[in-house]
């Protein structure tokens, strides 16, 4: 049985600080591996973009890894990727057939819960060949990640920082990955013992998990969320927690900074206020919304 919010509400604090930690792209460098070894090759294959593979990869990397859209659902991420791809230098002249956007855009804007089950229903309802291609791609991506993804070790500084924090703070994994996959991954790399709780998508949103596990149990300014995406920042705000960013592309330095600077401030009550505002400003500044080739 997976951890749910009722169990989280029953969690009794062991220390006077709480740190919620995102897993994917924060403790593990899995986002780049998923993109480069599973998403990208299958986009290129299903839309026949071999001739412009480098352009596609640049657009997909920007959409999924290094922009403010990092961590988005795969369908709006693909729509952004294709929108940029169409205007990427050299693509129009290459003669490659440009991906059609209408069916994908209509699905992304449909208000449905975006995922393989609702997409399959839409394919059956409309018979649209572009949606069918999208579904075939998405199912193959999921199967490829589930069946073939190689283990990716945690960032060394993430482990060192969690080892230091665990003596004085309650640590919990706060993730939207299925809990069974999280447990497998944390156990495989022998870091499951560093945290009190491992909590995945079954328990609800990240904000709900944080509120259930820590809400009302710690003094003001003693609950922190650590994450790598703007969604993590929003979840922290929603749950009334502080936020420490693990900067994409500079993860080890960010974890070291948490250990040497952020966590001591959490302990001594000087995290909230100017320090947190400056961290947020830096973090948002590292995640652009416009790709460099369009500026
Ligand atoms: Mg993440």
pLDDT score of 283 more than 90: yes
In a domain, 295, yes or no: no
Bridge partner residues of 18 (DSSP): 170, 223
The pLDDT > 70 percentage for the chain reads 100
Helices (H) and strands (E) in the chain, counts: 16, 5
- For the full predicted model, state whether its pTM sits above 0.85: no
pLDDT score of 218 more than 80: yes
Query: b/e map of 73-87 (b: 16 or more CB within 10 Å)?
Result: ebbbbbbbbbebbee
Summarised one tens digit per residue, pLDDT across range 241-263 is 999 999 988 999 999 999 999 99
CA 185 to centroid of ligand 1, rounded, Å:
14
Quick one: pLDDT at residue 180? 84
Torsion of CA 214, 72, 63, 23, to 10 degrees: 40
Summarised one tens digit per residue, pLDDT across range 92-106 is 999 999 999 999 999
Quick one: pLDDT at residue 10? 94
CA 248 to centroid of ligand 1, rounded, Å:
9
CA 12 to centroid of ligand 1, rounded, Å:
26
What the block records as the tokens of 198 is: 């491992």
| Domain-terminating residue out of 148, 175, 193 | 148
Residues 121 and 163 in one domain: no
pLDDT score of 2 more than 90: no
In a domain, 293, yes or no: no
CA 107 to centroid of ligand 1, rounded, Å:
25
CA 31 to centroid of ligand 1, rounded, Å:
8
CA 64 to centroid of ligand 1, rounded, Å:
11
Burial tier of 15 (Cβ tally within 10 Å: 0-12, 13-18, 19+): middle
Per-residue pLDDT band at 295 (split at 50, 70, 90) = confident
Contact assessment for residue 83 and residue 101, using Cβ atoms and an 8 Å cutoff: yes
CA 176 to centroid of ligand 1, rounded, Å:
9
CA 20 to centroid of ligand 1, rounded, Å:
12
Residues 24 and 36 in one domain: no
C-alpha triplet 158, 191, 13: angle, nearest 5°: 90
Quick one: pLDDT at residue 84? 97
Residues 135 and 159 in one domain: no
CA 82 to centroid of ligand 1, rounded, Å:
23
Quick one: pLDDT at residue 81? 98
Q: What is the CATH number of the domain that holds 225?
A: 3.40.50.1000
CA 221 to centroid of ligand 1, rounded, Å:
23
Residues 190 and 263 in one domain: yes
In a domain, 43, yes or no: yes
Per-residue pLDDT band at 144 (split at 50, 70, 90) = very high
Please tell me the distance from the alpha carbon of residue 148 to that of residue 66, in angstroms, as a whole number. Answer: 25
C-alpha triplet 101, 104, 109: angle, nearest 5°: 115
Contact assessment for residue 71 and residue 25, using Cβ atoms and an 8 Å cutoff: yes
CA 157 to centroid of ligand 1, rounded, Å:
16
Could you give the number of structural domains in the chain?
Answer: 2
Mean pLDDT of the chain: 94
CA 35 to centroid of ligand 1, rounded, Å:
13
């Amino acid at each position: 049985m997976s951890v749910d919010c009722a169990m989280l509400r029953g969690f009794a604090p062991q220390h006077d600080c709480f740190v919620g930690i995102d897993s994917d792209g924060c403790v593990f460098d899995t986002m780049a591996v998923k993109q480069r070894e599973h998403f990208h090759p299958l986009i290129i294959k299903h839309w026949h973009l071999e001739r412009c593979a480098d352009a596609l990869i640049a657009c997909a990397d920007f959409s999924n890894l290094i922009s403010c859209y990092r961590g988005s659902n795969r369908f709006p991420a693909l729509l952004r990727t294709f929108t940029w791809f169409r205007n990427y230098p050299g693509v129009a002249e290459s003669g490659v057939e440009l991906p059609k956007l209408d069916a994908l855009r209509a699905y992304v804007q449909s208000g449905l819960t975006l995922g393989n089950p609702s997409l399959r229903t839409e394919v059956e309802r409309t018979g649209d060949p572009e949606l069918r291609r999208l579904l075939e791609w998405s199912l193959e991506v999921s199967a490829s990640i589930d069946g073939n993804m190689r283990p990716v070790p945690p960032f060394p500084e993430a482990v060192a920082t969690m080892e230091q924090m665990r003596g004085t703070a309650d640590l919990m994994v706060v993730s939207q990955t299925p809990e069974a996959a999280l447990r497998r991954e944390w156990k495989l790399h022998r870091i499951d013992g560093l945290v009190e709780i491992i909590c995945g998508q079954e328990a609800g949103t990240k904000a709900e998990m944080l509120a259930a596990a820590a809400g009302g149990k710690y003094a003001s300014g003693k609950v922190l969320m650590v994450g790598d995406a703007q969604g993590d920042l929003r979840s922290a705000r929603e749950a009334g927690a502080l936020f420490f960013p693990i900067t994409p592309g500079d993860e080890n330095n960010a974890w070291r900074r948490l250990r040497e600077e952020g966590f001591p401030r959490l302990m001594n009550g000087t995290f909230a206020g100017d320090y947190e505002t400056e961290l947020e400003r830096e973090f948002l500044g590292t995640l652009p919304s416009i790709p460099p080739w369009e500026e």
